[in-house]
Amino acid sequence: MIKELISSLLLVLVLSFHTANAAISPNPTVPTIAAKSYILQDSASGRIIAEQNSQQRLPPASITKLMTSYVIFNELQSGNVALADEVLISEKAWKMVGSRSFIEVNTKVPVEVLLRGMIIQSGNDAAVALAEHIAGSEETFAQMMNQYAQQLGMFNTNYRNSTGLPDTDHYTTAQDIALLSVALIGNFPEYYKWYSEKQYTYNEITQHNRNKLLWRDSTVDGLKTGHTEEAGYCLAASAKRGDMRLISVVLGTRSENARAQETQKLFNYGFRFFETHVLYKAGDKVTTSKIWKGSEKEISLGLAESLAVTVPRGRYEELVATTNLQQAIIAPVAQGSVLGEVEIRLDNKLIAKQSLIALTAAEQGSWWRRILDTILMLIWG
């Protein structure tokens, strides 16, 4: 009787254990997101964690200003303009409808003031004033925007203006916006800080950043909201928790609160169930290989860019890395030459791959070394 009771208790414990673990799915489903299109992407690895209609062309409204600022940041970095440069405000800029920075016609306003007004207050007047200052006209500036879009690989994007005001030929996608966001954060950290500012005062008027997540989630530090009747309520946002940064883009939600709530859902999902690790840093030695006919016997191989992977949380130790090298590496070899690749697998599925390059140049060896290696290569095939 006692044995039967113990057996029953053990059975209950085993069943309870399996039931509890069955409820924890190894790949939890993405929460329902009320948006026409969305994407959640890791910034370092590029891994798309969740998406729906992310390549659908849609009007971006004021999220357009991410590219407007990207162009201007490049102009600042190249020295073509300076933050202290004064911009003469045209009548066109002054008359712009929609969100405004309250700049006055025929006054001169520094580039930095206009940038912060455009980024924080989403000023259409500031965006047009900057576009005219950089390119002479907003139409020419839009051509610059499209050139940068092509360089970044934003092949489903076309800009017609610097503001995002409606135009039938002005469109982008959630995926392209995420791509732009990663580039903006990575290339211009000194200017990206403005995207986290909650308010800005100009001309004795204080306006607040429309990104509600800046108040609700301390890990969110950007990026940009947008709204028109055609586009709905949109939000491109970035959050960093620990060493992991995620980019979220939601397009076509029903309200200001909805775009914030749907974005928060995506962030909570991504950070809870996934983790990102940098496996190899740019320039670090990944492996070595024998080099034939060289002054040295081995050559060090590494990566031109850091390699990061995003995996389900708790599965980092299961990653398997393999290297595939050229059958025979023969000197001379120039620094940066591609000599193979490294592959990263999880569950025997390829999740990342990157070329292996020569970290240093390899010179030819002596005539005796070259003759000896030629003979050895013939013998060994």
Catalytically annotated residue among 54, 122, 181, 248: 122
**Residue 65 to residues 5, 165, 177, 263, 313, Cα–Cα distance (Å):** 70, 10, 11, 19, 34
DSSP 334-379: -TT-EEEEEEEEETTEEEEEEEEEESS-B-B--HHHHHHHHHHHHH
Q: Where are the beta strands (DSSP E) in the chain?
A: 37-42, 48-52, 86-88, 108-110, 199-202, 205-208, 220-228, 232-241, 244-253, 274-280, 285-290, 298-302, 307-312, 320-325, 338-346, 349-358
Q: Is 306 a catalytic residue?
A: no
The catalytic position among 37, 45, 62, 238 is 62
> Is residue 196 flagged as an active site residue?
no
Please say whether the beta carbons of 145 and 67 come within 8 A. yes
Radius of gyration over every alpha carbon of the chain, rounded to an integer in angstroms: 27
Phi, psi (deg, nearest 5) at residue 234: -125, 155
User: Which of the residues 45, 54, 65, 90 is marked catalytic?
Assistant: 65
Alpha-carbon distance of 126 to 116, in angstroms, equals: 9
The verdict on whether omega for the bond into residue 110 sits within 30 degrees of 0, i.e. cis, is no
89 CB burial (10 A radius; 0-12, 13-18, 19+): buried
Residue 133 CA to residue 5 CA, distance in Å, equals 85
Distance from C-alpha of 338 to C-alpha of 304, rounded to nearest angstrom: 10
48 burial via Cβ count (<10 Å: 0-12, 13-18, 19+): middle
The Cα 357–Cα 286 span in angstroms is 10
65 catalytic residue (yes or no): yes
Distances (CA, A) of 332 to 288, 293, 360, 362: 16, 8, 11, 5
- Torsion angle, CA of 186/188/183/66, rounded to 10 degrees? 140
Residue 234: beta bridge partners? 226
Catalytic positions are 62, 65, 122
